[in-house]
Structure 1
Amino acid sequence: MSTSKVSFQELKTRVGIDDVAYALGYRLDRKAGVGRYFEMVLGDGHDKRDTIIIRNTSNKAAQTFFRRDGSKGDVVTFVRENLNAFNTTGNNDWQKITNILSGFANMPVQEYRSDLEYISASRGDKPFNPERYDVQDVKLDKIHKLFFQRGFDAETVRIFSPFVKLISDRHNRNFSGFNIGFPYTSLCQDGIAGYEIRGFGGFKSKASGTNSSSAAWVADFSHGNQSMVTNVFFFESAFDAMAFHQMNRARLGNDVALVSLGGTFSESQVLGVIDRFPNARIVDCFDNDLAGRVNGLRLISVAERIPMKIQKTEEGLNVTAKDKTFLLELKRPLHIEIGQHISIKQKLGQWLPPGEFKDWNDCLLGKTIEPVISPTKRDRDANLAQRRTSLKL
């Protein structure tokens, strides 16, 4: 099997994170319960060296994992983290990962069959079922009020109407109205693969069974001429993408595509988008916070096919890539800072919201980041004195 980008998507349908974890010595923690998630632990008792929580118990292709420290990813990420544990060869890390996953794809299920039966007997995620939802086109003569609450004008709603739906969940007995749905699509899956959903009162969700592993919301303004797209802008939510477009409409044109990862980040999501638009520059438009910068680095990592280890420090982000370790202070665009330490081949860019705003939708609404005011020494001393007085009482 080749080391092409598509091969990862094919292999993920046959190799789950749980398969790799078992080979590395992780075991199912039955005490933690099994449902939409299950936990796997490396070591036991006082020697617990790692715990991963795996999502999607019944669909290997859609499996993702996370840790309670915030790290997360898919099976490719998990293999990359543990490359040194496998005895494999290859011209680069990506070829090694492909060889490892290919080996797993051809291995029979062995010692953990009883655990698999235990997991399958528990409730797992079901594939996305479009019949569960009533779906309508956006009504331009009666625009959903949530669009206006989010700061969008009628022209923006009209422009994005081909990429947005109104959606109602027939299984939801508490709400019979329509929310706004952003349909997910994927190169390796026909039709709609799910929805990113937004509603009143800050409600946000995804349609049950949405494929967040290899599918994403994509607003393609090229009218099908995907090879002509010059820039693909990546966001954490579809509302951010719409806000960005409304604020920068005059500078964009029709040779662009806007992408929402919906709060998740999977290598297959990004690779699938890159496959769609092979000639486009990849632009980081993620949030103005540390999580957004980590997503920006992961975007570069996937686009460049360069595995990176990212660690948060008080000074910034410590990155290890191509046998080099360096600190990024995040004062300039990531691809420029990274380019000072390792060679960058892809066309990359960064277009963040102004620094006083967390994301593009907040920018459109004029909602600035509330400053975090650190207490002065006098404040700390006064607080300590008050606590001591309270203890004496």
Structure 2
Amino acid sequence: MNEEQKFEDYRNRLNIRDVLTDAGYTLHKRDGLRYPAYVRLDNDGRRIRGDKFIVMPNKNCCFQPPTIKLYSVTSFIWEHPNLFPEYNQGMKESALVHKVCQRLLNIPVEQRNQNVLAPTRDAKPFNIKDYKIERFHPDEADSQKPFYAFFKSRGIDFATRCAFHRNFFLASKAADNGASYKNLSFPMYIPGHPEKCVGLEERGYPRKDGSARKGMAAGTNASEGLWMASPKDMELKDAKDVYVFESAYDAMAFYQLRMKKDSGLDYKARQELKSAVFISTGGNPSYGQIQGVVKAAPGATFHLGFDNDLAGKQFVFNFESIVQKMNPLHPESVASDMKGFIETFKEGITSTKELLDIDDDRYVELPEGLQKLYLAYDTARNEAWEYHYSPFLCKEDKQEAADRMNKAYQEFKQALFQKLHVQDGQDLNPIGIVRELPSEGYKDFNDELLEKKQYSMTDVVETAFDENGVSLTEEREEENEETKKSGLKR
């Protein structure tokens, strides 16, 4: 029986629900039994928002909304290796599928470790203190050398490394079998909570063909955590521009391409790019990641640099859909009895002040309770106007009528805003989204960077010093040293 036949046998004998349970997911009964939903719980037993899989009816597969990408028993294990205790860094995906499926089917495995590991859901949560950290310092040559192979294989030059040096490091950790692994690591944080690292986006040591293992450190909170970096150390809450990518390599490649002399950006545009925040989702962007970053940067324009393929286009669609629904006045967000009222604003609503512009057409679309409050305000307003122009009433009577009108107005406004879950003065403008695409013919920005000359002499001269006066000519020396070692001539 060949490998594909074995995989088919696993799919026929195992239920996707059992695999989800083994991976640490729990049946969420409130979502209904027709389309069973499996969710992950945090350390306090609360549901992790956005980390959910739906089991397809009459099919032995599942998908993670909002992306309709079906996973079978074997493909789920293949693409989510960190969820299973058998996984070790560097292990082939096919070997992992065999080990997990054979365990679930109670098939004896030769030389199998008898110390069965606890399920992933009971595993120790991610802790950055479990790792030995080596950092890159722009002004210390010895600290830079261990990073050379990782970045050279991806075309990331010295100037770009210096720009992002605060947001990557080498992380070493001993595996259970005694072996030690070292990865280029990009720390992930939950937006708005920079005090705690919740995981690592990892890249292994590059192979001869330039490829490398990629994934997440065990225990990483990939549902909410993001890699976030800014060359000028701009905080996310203050950012005017946020660039979102599927990997940290793509983010750094995009920055390097835009900072080149021939990119077309002037000095002001380059400074703005340095002040932007760059984000990596580490793969498929989840609901929790998108919602978290948008809430944390309410005034920013989001530049989506997802891959230029079908999956990347789906991620853009998902991002836009989630952002639209986050608007409290989106048709799917408002109460059913308020949808008719919202739909009367044909041009959209950009401020709470517009909500108070009530005419006859909008009045009839209000629910009964709000109609009564508005009618009381309208009556008080007409009375106040009559009193104001009456020559027979004293100043005190006119003021009392004005006070009654203002009180009725505030009661209606408060009830309306409460019903729509908005606050007075809240900005309701749609969030700005810009699609950033690599040049034609390239899948992503790192592919584009690799295709072009990686270390041109023009770039070395142009970026000889950074804005802080740090010398960047080490790149030329570094490259020449590598050339000498390899015996190649330029």
- Short-chain TM bin: 0.5 to 0.7
Q: For each residue in 1:143-164, what CA deviation from the matched residue of structure 2 results, as whole angstroms up to 9, or x when unmatched? A: 3301100111111111111111
Could you say which residue in structure 1 is the equivalent of 2:160?
Answer: 156
- Name the CA shift for 1:349/1:33 in 2 (closer, same or farther; >3 Å): closer
- Name the CA shift for 1:231/1:355 in 2 (closer, same or farther; >3 Å): same
- Name the CA shift for 1:259/1:161 in 2 (closer, same or farther; >3 Å): same
Could you say which residue in structure 2 is the equivalent of 1:130?
Answer: 128
The answer as to whether partners of 1:213 and 1:266 remain within 8 angstroms in 2 is: yes
Q: State the identity %.
A: 27
The answer as to whether partners of 1:61 and 1:213 remain within 8 angstroms in 2 is: no
Could you say which residue in structure 2 is the equivalent of 1:357?
Answer: 442
Matches within 5 A, 1:262-301: 262-301=282-321
Could you say which residue in structure 2 is the equivalent of 1:241?
Answer: 251
The answer as to whether partners of 2:186 and 2:227 remain within 8 angstroms in 1 is: yes
The answer as to whether partners of 1:185 and 1:216 remain within 8 angstroms in 2 is: yes
Q: Does 1:232 align with 2:242?
A: yes
Q: Does 1:146 align with 2:150?
A: yes
Q: Does 1:213 align with 2:220?
A: no
Q: Does 1:36 align with 2:19?
A: no
Between Structure 1 and Structure 2, which shows a larger proportion of helix residues? Answer: 2
Could you say which residue in structure 2 is the equivalent of 1:310?
Answer: none
Q: Which amino acid counterpart does residue 148 of structure 1 have in structure 2?
A: K
- Name the CA shift for 1:305/1:196 in 2 (closer, same or farther; >3 Å): same
Give the gaps of 5 or more residues in structure 1: 1-27, 43-47, 75-120, 308-320, 324-340, 368-393
Q: Which amino acid counterpart does residue 236 of structure 1 have in structure 2?
A: E
CA shift, 1:299, in A, is: 1.4
Q: For each residue in 1:231-252, what CA deviation from the matched residue of structure 2 results, as whole angstroms up to 9, or x when unmatched? A: 1011011111011111012544
- Name the CA shift for 1:342/1:361 in 2 (closer, same or farther; >3 Å): farther
CA shift, 1:130, in A, is: 1.8
Q: For each residue in 1:42-67, what CA deviation from the matched residue of structure 2 results, as whole angstroms up to 9, or x when unmatched? A: 9xxxxx95455545686645461235
The answer as to whether partners of 1:34 and 1:123 remain within 8 angstroms in 2 is: no
CA shift, 1:205, in A, is: 1.6
Matches within 5 A, 1:114-129: 122-124=119-121, 125-129=123-127
Q: Output the TM-score relative to the length of structure 1.
A: 0.57
- Name the CA shift for 1:364/1:52 in 2 (closer, same or farther; >3 Å): farther
Q: Output the TM-score relative to the length of structure 2.
A: 0.47
Following the alignment from structure 1 to structure 2, what is the Cα–Cα distance between the partners of residues 57 and 228? 29
Could you say which residue in structure 1 is the equivalent of 2:71?
Answer: none
Following the alignment from structure 1 to structure 2, what is the Cα–Cα distance between the partners of residues 206 and 62? 18
- Name the CA shift for 1:181/1:214 in 2 (closer, same or farther; >3 Å): same
2:451 aligned residue (353, 366, 370): 366
- Name the CA shift for 1:302/1:142 in 2 (closer, same or farther; >3 Å): same
2:173 aligned residue (165, 169, 174): 169
Q: Report how many aligned residue pairs link the two structures.
A: 262
- Name the CA shift for 1:36/1:228 in 2 (closer, same or farther; >3 Å): same
Q: Which amino acid counterpart does residue 133 of structure 2 have in structure 1?
A: V
Could you say which residue in structure 2 is the equivalent of 1:178?
Answer: 182
Could you say which residue in structure 2 is the equivalent of 1:111?
Answer: none
Q: For each residue in 1:8-46, what CA deviation from the matched residue of structure 2 results, as whole angstroms up to 9, or x when unmatched? A: xxxxxxxxxxxxxxxxxxxx987547322447599xxxx
Q: Which amino acid counterpart does residue 360 of structure 1 have in structure 2?
A: F
Q: For each residue in 1:74-120, what CA deviation from the matched residue of structure 2 results, as whole angstroms up to 9, or x when unmatched? A: 9xxxxxxxxxxxxxxxxxxxxxxxxxxxxxxxxxxxxxxxxxxxxxx
The answer as to whether partners of 2:24 and 2:40 remain within 8 angstroms in 1 is: yes
Following the alignment from structure 1 to structure 2, what is the Cα–Cα distance between the partners of residues 249 and 263? 25
Q: Does 1:72 align with 2:157?
A: no
The answer as to whether partners of 2:27 and 2:37 remain within 8 angstroms in 1 is: yes
SS in 2 for 1:72: coil
Between Structure 1 and Structure 2, which shows a larger proportion of strand residues? Answer: 1
CA shift, 1:122, in A, is: 4.9
Following the alignment from structure 1 to structure 2, what is the Cα–Cα distance between the partners of residues 232 and 243? 15
Give the gaps of 5 or more residues in structure 2: 1-14, 55-60, 68-117, 137-142, 333-346, 350-428, 453-490
- Name the CA shift for 1:188/1:73 in 2 (closer, same or farther; >3 Å): farther
Could you say which residue in structure 2 is the equivalent of 1:223?
Answer: 233
